[in-house]
Each structure stands twice: as C-alpha cells, then as structure tokens.
Amino acid sequence: MDLLDVIRDLVFVQGISGYEDDIRSRVIEYLKKFGEPKVDKLGNVYLTLGDGDEHIAFMAHMDEIGLVVAHIEENGFIRLKRLGGVDVRMLYGQYFEVFTKDGKRIPGVIGLKPPHISTESEMKNAPPIEDLYLDVGASSREEVISMGISILDPVRWMKQFHVLNGRYIVTRGLDDRAGCAILINLIERLKGKKLKKKVTFIFTLQEETGLRGAKAITERDIDELYAIDSVSSGDIPKVDYYLSPVSLGKGPVIRFIDARGANSISLKRKVEEIASRNKINIQEVFTGGSTDAAGTFDLGIPSIALCFPIRYTHTTVEMSSIEDIEALINLLEKIVQG
C-alpha cells in the first residue's frame, strides 16, 4: 500500500474524539489484510504479530479534535462546544460538516461579523466560542431538525489534502491519522517476516480528550511501548525556536518530556543507540501537551513517544515532511529488529 494514499484515506474518515466508530472501522479494514484485529470494550483496536518472551508495542490514536452540536437556536443557528484542544481562531470563516445519526453530512459555515459593522475593539479581538454559531442555511430550529441534525452530533472542518513542493503533506488531522498510517505501513513491512519477539499494534481512542483510551488498554504484559504521534515544530517565522526546537525535514523526534512529565529514560537511550547505529537522524525535545505514552506510563508500562514534526498543529493546515514520516517508519522497524 502506498503510504501517502493511506494517510489521505484515513484523514478524510470521520472520527473526532468520542465518535471513533467510522475511523475504527476503516483501521480494522486495513488490519484484516494482516491478521485478526481485536477490539476491547472501550473501542481500542489491537493486532499482534510474532511470538516470543519479549513483548513490545506501538500505539497511535485514531481520534482528532472537533466540535459537537450543543444547542439549536429558534432562528436556526447552531451553538457548538469544543472536543479537545480546538483553537477558537481556527473556527470563524471556515467550512464545516455535521455528521448526523442517519449518516448524512450536512455542510455549514461559521461566519464572522463583517468589518463594515464591527467596532474597533471587535476588530482587534478573536470572538470567544460562546459568540460563534454554525450556519447551515436554515431559518428555524424545526428546519435544522428536519435536516437530521440533533444535539451532540459531531462537527468537523471540511478538509483538503495537498502535497507542497513534492515534500510536505498539508491537511487537517495529520495528528494522528499519519501515526495510524505509520503503524499500518510498519505492519505491512513486518508481515511474513520471522519475528523474535511479540509485537502488538494498538490504535487508541480519546487521546485528544485526556489520553483515555491509552489509560484503559487491556494489553498490560508489555515490556516496551512506543506512542507514535506528532510534535509541534518551532521552525516558523516570529516563533521563538527554543519553545519547541524541532524542524521539518530533520528526522523523527524523541518526545521524552512533555507537560505530563518524563517517560522511560531507558527507552530514550535505547532509541538513541538504534538511531545512531543505523544512521537515522533524530531530534529530541521537551515540549508542552502530551501523548498516549503518558497514559500507559501511568499504568506501569515503560513508554516513550516517538513523533513526526508538524507545523501549525491543531489547525486546518497541519504540515509534515514525507521524509520525516518515512524515517520514523524505518526507525520503528529497526526497534523491532532489536
């Protein structure tokens, strides 16, 4: 399978945090080509290859940030609530889709009060989400309901997918659909090979709303666990690079410390040694936010996050280097080989 095609495919599947049914089904479709995936009671997905005394695991989260319908006004405008780290600046002037219970995708927009009728103060400040509303072209609450929209329906940005200069993927949702694609590609590479250890691949839910899937994984007899996720790069104009000294195109990233604290120092040293031995360029960073590695570390499983850098994290134009993603897959394969 072509890596870029898998990333593109996964990106467009619905699956905001808490509403992972569709993306889980798509991941399972891919995994069935390599084995018999299992799903736990919460909805995390597992596939195991190989056998042996040593058990390692790789993990990526299926969910992404988004919105939900919170209230429908009598005039037909829809109020929204955020799921995950949604920056309000990424909302107004954007196209969205409401995913209804009967499978419809209803387009809508979040508009913005035009400058012609705004005060000087309003022009200088981003409106809070409480002042925003989704316009689906309805003139009454009844009309909205007749379209199939109801309270708590998930809402997501309409997406585009581009490759810039032949090197950089740009889309909404690379965090962490690219991570899921990385694991699927790694499974494809490993399938049919004689593995000296047991290797489990885990696709988790609700990472963006508290690492909740990772904290509840049913596989606990794991010796090493690597969370495959993104990390914000600081290679942007007018950004103090030291805040996240990571650049696109300079290799995968060991995200050893984040807002939740440090993870496994022994795994950090192991990855550094494997990368050096195989001449794979890596970057290392202490940054904000967190990953599923923190959730499984709390379970007592030695864990660490290995990441691909992203510019413009949690925006509609997340950007990552194809070269970094491929290098990360190579690194993971070397980890399996020991």
| Catalytic residue of the set 64, 207, 208, 219 | 207
Q: How many CA atoms lie within 13 A of 42 on its CB side?
A: 19
Q: What value, to the nearest 5°, has the Cα angle with vertex 39 and ends 151 and 69?
A: 10
Active site residue 318: no
Q: Of 263, 246, 240, give the one whose Cα is nearest residue 310.
A: 246
Angle between helices 265-277 and 322-337 (to 10 degrees): 100
Q: Cα 23 to the chain's mean position, in Å?
A: 12
Q: Indicate the length of the chain as a whole number.
A: 338
Q: CB–CB of 134/98 below 8 Å?
A: yes
Cα dist. 123→115, 127, 129, 220 in Å? 7, 9, 16, 52
List, in order, residues 6 or more apart from 103 with CB less than 8 Å away: none
Residue ranges of E strands in 28-102: 38-39, 45-49, 55-61, 66-72, 78-83, 94-99
Catalytic positions, written as ranges: 207
